[in-house]
Structure 1
């Protein structure tokens, strides 16, 4: 029997299969992610590959073929003619499950994810028959994991049917051959919708045809500082764009004043009026203009009014979902609709146990970037909705609790009731995404009618994991249309159906609990593999961003899932042990800093080492373009006495939905470090690192891996070498740092890239120019994190302080300066800066000005002459890289066309500059 200590991941990983599969719906995990709202989930293809390669030993190529099949979803070897037999996906799944069972005769392997999040990694372990265990600090993540990888794989066949009236008439209880859980979840969700309609009807009057309006366009109003009358802050008057193909003229909203009041009217066509919230010409900062007197209010003034409690919400127009596909018609408000909105402001609802019916939990300080409404004076999570929205959600949660009690009364077990109510609570949470002031009216199409004109609601998490806010927004009703309960139900049922289509009876349900990765509830030496996707430094504020969902889910499940959401649950998700770096600037004393992240991650890895068996493996999935994140991650692994045995970069983020900005993540195989490792000499280790990284770069280049991703992926092989030694000794006897080898890995990538400018090797240019040209190739003109900028500079032995003329620092990091620069060259001026100075002189003084600055450069020794090949190579490169409309590019293009004239003029200018300098020297001498 082969040694289980050597796993597939140590020698092989299906990189090509993962790269292909993440772009497909099945490989991306789109269905699995649709069940609940959580952030930064692994694509299923990578999770599957990481799980199987971590569990299976390195036996033979046939195993690799099976893994390739289940990752891609089909038999590529048979399709390409490399194999004569065709292996179906379900057969490959079954055979791999049998292989795992055979390799662990003492019982199914135990697989742990201590940062389980949504549960994607444990799901894949459970699907192949492993005992999957997930731990996460966030209660919402625990719920998400149970809905994905626990409840779907339990046997519910012994549960009684729900009341007959809950099932849809079109399918019936007896004619529906879908899995019982799918059938019952759908019935439960549909009944919730029916009860919500009854409960909410007094606040959302039906139309004459008995149907509910789809929703209401609402706005925040403020009192004008000029005339004291209240006016709405509206950023767009478009309700529906025209569409020429269907003869639809579109609709817009006209704001009409009458004395001290205003109203909104709906007209066909395109807007003939300006919104009240716009940016003045030449500015990007929006201001609010009074509808009555025209007085302008700055954003700071608007914020102050929010903190002073001066905001009021009002509905402006209503929208009905028409029978024709996707059509939305807007209309004026009826009197009964206005009265119903006002009635909701004073609705009296029963508390939810010890909880207020509308969440009154304060938004913690330091969340202006994450929960943006808190920067405008909204103090609680309940205040992120208008009062009627909040009442509707309270009634929605109440309907779920009522049904849970009824299902229990119909004989359903406590676990089954928890599962059904859990899926409903997750659906409610997903609806929150379309139902706060951050949910804008999305008007697809164009004002000229050339594109299809669908109307939807925006997602409050559209900007990654930040909770958006707005002054005008769409409030969805309890009926049909985007953002309604009805619209979310179908997605939930379809997602669950696809999750349950797994073609193997070997799947077993995972187990998930709320807890900290630094205090795992497991015995020593009890886990066969830890497979985890730890937080990516400062990429996502998991708990802060999702507390809006948590407060509503807790009110739904407080007595249904008490171990997570019951009386002992915190008012907001725990932050004290959250292992992240708080992004966007937290509270003044927020503990979630870079040092905290490093220390706690090391503690978590130490716990994983404790629970791993002697031959167990740790697999870490990670990706970040800031080297500081890698220093902290790899340093934490090193401190926890893990050694990297392999690293496999794959394009895993291409199918993600805007959660993370990176395109490549690295799957890292690790083992516990041997008790005795030799010390290494720096010169020898340097050579080994260079050799190993260079070999990988050759493969990465063949695969078309982008330069930024090569730089990130290079850390893995460097750590594989570094980890072979207990320490690496410098000639002076001191220990070489891990950071040194990450920098060396990047240097190898850079050195392996033959960069030339007009046939001149990049290394023959000055250091500042080398940095600038390489920066352009790797990062372009975008902002670069400070840690990455520091590493970039160190690669050319430069300190950032030395290149202030080349880089601009902001809160987002550093950007490369490429604009025309008014600079006088000296002997230390980088050619890159001189090229920008030349573009400035051309714009301001023409050819003569360029000749003057070149003459200064010649006389000072910055360049060898006006025809200096290195200078003209930089000019050509900068003009080539920038867009043709960029002022620097346009100026340098003109300079190149006038090169001969400029070179001739420079000779005369150089004589003048030289004579002027000699005269200055004489005058100084005379003065002395």
Structure 2
């Protein structure tokens, strides 16, 4: 495939070109009807700031052009067929053109998913929801050059994500149809055959002959220049707001955690924060904000991020002090746990906890002009991120003190073996360290021991008549945890997930939560810890189960009649900083 035409079947091309050409005809019809109805006109189009009939016709054509663009997403040979619901999925289920072995083709005039009317209905509903009380303007410019920036802007920005998404390359898919349908209305925006790419801030090696180092330098230099221009142009009365969401993490060979393992850092976060701090900003406030739809394709059945982190930044004082690595770590251990507790009380999803910790952690780091390593060199942002992740892990580990001995054993075993088998001797040694015993754990319904091997009970193996069925003993208690003489946090967590996720019943999970009382809150804390382990081990499906429990917690608390659980709330933009 060499051209965008190759992405469509012949009749799809006919449909898209026909609909695109009809947009201009529709514009002329709208203009004629508007003038006939007595709408005043001026010679300026919408692109020139006009407000008369000509601009009105341009606006209608623009919405129709957006409908063409949306339809193209469903009218290609790269659509997918969703067999479970028997409907056509759109082309860009992810930020890339996927490899598909078969595709569905929609009739634009049908009542099926992807129809033309559906595209227009989406746009119509958006227009209805838009606030129309004030007018505004938009302009296209290079943020790194800052040519169009004034000195009184309130800046809110969502920086690029290193090499994660090539927006310009992907935009060509839609650009070619928008240019054909509304290019004459916006000649400046559509002056090129394809989307301009040379100035896009993305660390894509192919644009530099495959040289990753040059791509990295280009991205870092451009991002730093952009933040420099923002600092010059920002209104000093208000903070710079930076939205960021990036899950990628890699091991840092220069920093080790308390277990001697390499700590985790993130290239995406590192480069963004490095550009921000090098230009003299400091982070003065952070909030996680839910910005993603759980129903979006990348979020279905995955551990995709649900939130972005909003960083409120101001210029760092010229007399900001320096500190040492030791003092920085002490400050992290002193201040970060309070912030993490607040996040958990607000029911932040486990999938978002690690990146949410970056905000308050980097707020501590950025208050100093420098953090000096033991050899006198300045600490890098990457090392600071690794230390923040280390303190986060320590915080979650410290919560183990609230667990019973059986749960502490199960947690340690899970971290080493997951739901797989391990040697009996190792299980026995670990049980002594956790002040329990293998046979007691078996009676508690936590593990299975057979032929010199031990493993945790899987959720599908848990007995329905909990807690009476213990290692083949009597049955018939009827899922009443109150009658369990050896009730464990581990067991409560697994039964809650089985009811909620595996059986899909919020009511059943809420009923269990009501019966276990305060132990349910400890189970929720355990879910955070188990998610972190699963995420590190790349156990995606198991991680999803623990994340789902925490996300559903406010509703479970409500159904259990325990009042309203704390949940994130949207406040005013400038209420706190």
**Secondary structure in 2 matching 1:645:** strand
- 1:579 pairs, out of 191, 195, 201, with 201
1:380 alignment counterpart: 3
Mapped partners of 1:645, 1:473: distance in 2: 50
**Secondary structure in 2 matching 1:666:** strand
Give the root-mean-square deviation of aligned CA atoms: 4.0
Q: TM-score, normalised by structure 2?
A: 0.62
Mapped partners of 2:391, 2:363: distance in 1: 15
2:135 alignment counterpart: 508
Give the C-alpha shift of residue 421 in structure 1.
Answer: 1.8
* Inter-CA distance 583–707: structure 2 relative to 1 (3 Å threshold): farther
Structure with a larger share of its residues in helix: 2
Mapped partners of 1:651, 1:584: distance in 2: 34
Q: In the alignment, is residue 554 of structure 1 matched against residue 179 of structure 2?
A: yes
Mapped partners of 2:18, 2:430: distance in 1: 78
The 5 A counterparts of 1:216-295 are: none
**Does the aligned pair in 1 maintain the 2:71–2:114 contact within 8 Å?**
yes
Q: In the alignment, is residue 426 of structure 1 matched against residue 66 of structure 2?
A: yes
2:255 alignment counterpart: none
Larger RCO (CA under 8 A, 6+ residues apart): 1
Q: Is there any run of 5+ residues in structure 1 with no aligned partner, and where?
A: 1-377, 446-454, 777-805, 807-816, 821-835, 839-849, 858-862, 887-893, 898-928
**Secondary structure in 1 matching 2:272:** helix
- 1:743 pairs, out of 386, 401, 421, with 386
Mapped partners of 1:738, 1:590: distance in 2: 20
Give the C-alpha shift of residue 715 in structure 1.
Answer: 1.4
1:618 alignment counterpart: 240
Mapped partners of 1:443, 1:397: distance in 2: 31
Mapped partners of 1:881, 1:548: distance in 2: 49
2:102 alignment counterpart: 471
Mapped partners of 1:650, 1:760: distance in 2: 36
Summarize deviations over 1:673-723 as a string: whole Å, max 9, x none: 222222223333322222220111222232233444332222111221221
Q: In the alignment, is residue 608 of structure 1 matched against residue 224 of structure 2?
A: no
Give the C-alpha shift of residue 758 in structure 1.
Answer: 6.2
Mapped partners of 2:430, 2:305: distance in 1: 43
Mapped partners of 1:495, 1:624: distance in 2: 27
- 1:639 pairs, out of 270, 278, 291, with 278
* Inter-CA distance 872–581: structure 2 relative to 1 (3 Å threshold): farther
Give the C-alpha shift of residue 726 in structure 1.
Answer: 0.9
**Does the aligned pair in 1 maintain the 2:205–2:212 contact within 8 Å?**
no
**Does the aligned pair in 2 maintain the 1:643–1:720 contact within 8 Å?**
yes
* Inter-CA distance 602–760: structure 2 relative to 1 (3 Å threshold): farther
Q: Is there any run of 5+ residues in structure 2 with no aligned partner, and where?
A: 36-40, 47-54, 249-264, 448-453, 463-469, 474-577
**Does the aligned pair in 1 maintain the 2:294–2:306 contact within 8 Å?**
no
1:401 alignment counterpart: 24
Give the C-alpha shift of residue 581 in structure 1.
Answer: 4.4
The 5 A counterparts of 1:71-470 are: 378-407=1-30, 413-415=44-46, 416=55, 417-440=57-80, 456-463=87-94, 466=97, 469-470=100-101
* Inter-CA distance 488–648: structure 2 relative to 1 (3 Å threshold): closer
* Inter-CA distance 740–482: structure 2 relative to 1 (3 Å threshold): closer
Summarize deviations over 1:485-520 as a string: whole Å, max 9, x none: 3343333223212325x5xx4x222x2222322122
**Does the aligned pair in 2 maintain the 1:476–1:482 contact within 8 Å?**
no
Q: TM-score, normalised by structure 1?
A: 0.40
* Inter-CA distance 596–883: structure 2 relative to 1 (3 Å threshold): farther
- 1:704 pairs, out of 325, 340, 347, with 347
Give the C-alpha shift of residue 434 in structure 1.
Answer: 1.5
Mapped partners of 1:864, 1:442: distance in 2: 48
Give the C-alpha shift of residue 656 in structure 1.
Answer: 5.8
Q: In the alignment, is residue 563 of structure 1 matched against residue 188 of structure 2?
A: yes
Mapped partners of 1:733, 1:614: distance in 2: 34
* Inter-CA distance 673–472: structure 2 relative to 1 (3 Å threshold): closer
The 5 A counterparts of 1:809-824 are: 818=418
**Secondary structure in 1 matching 2:222:** helix
**Does the aligned pair in 1 maintain the 2:205–2:214 contact within 8 Å?**
no
Q: In the alignment, is residue 677 of structure 1 matched against residue 320 of structure 2?
A: yes
**Does the aligned pair in 1 maintain the 2:205–2:215 contact within 8 Å?**
no
Q: In the alignment, is residue 489 of structure 1 matched against residue 147 of structure 2?
A: no
Mapped partners of 1:737, 1:895: distance in 2: 54
**Does the aligned pair in 2 maintain the 1:693–1:718 contact within 8 Å?**
yes
**Count of residues paired in the alignment:** 414
Mapped partners of 2:188, 2:144: distance in 1: 20
1:686 alignment counterpart: 329
Give the C-alpha shift of residue 620 in structure 1.
Answer: 0.7
Q: In the alignment, is residue 518 of structure 1 matched against residue 149 of structure 2?
A: no
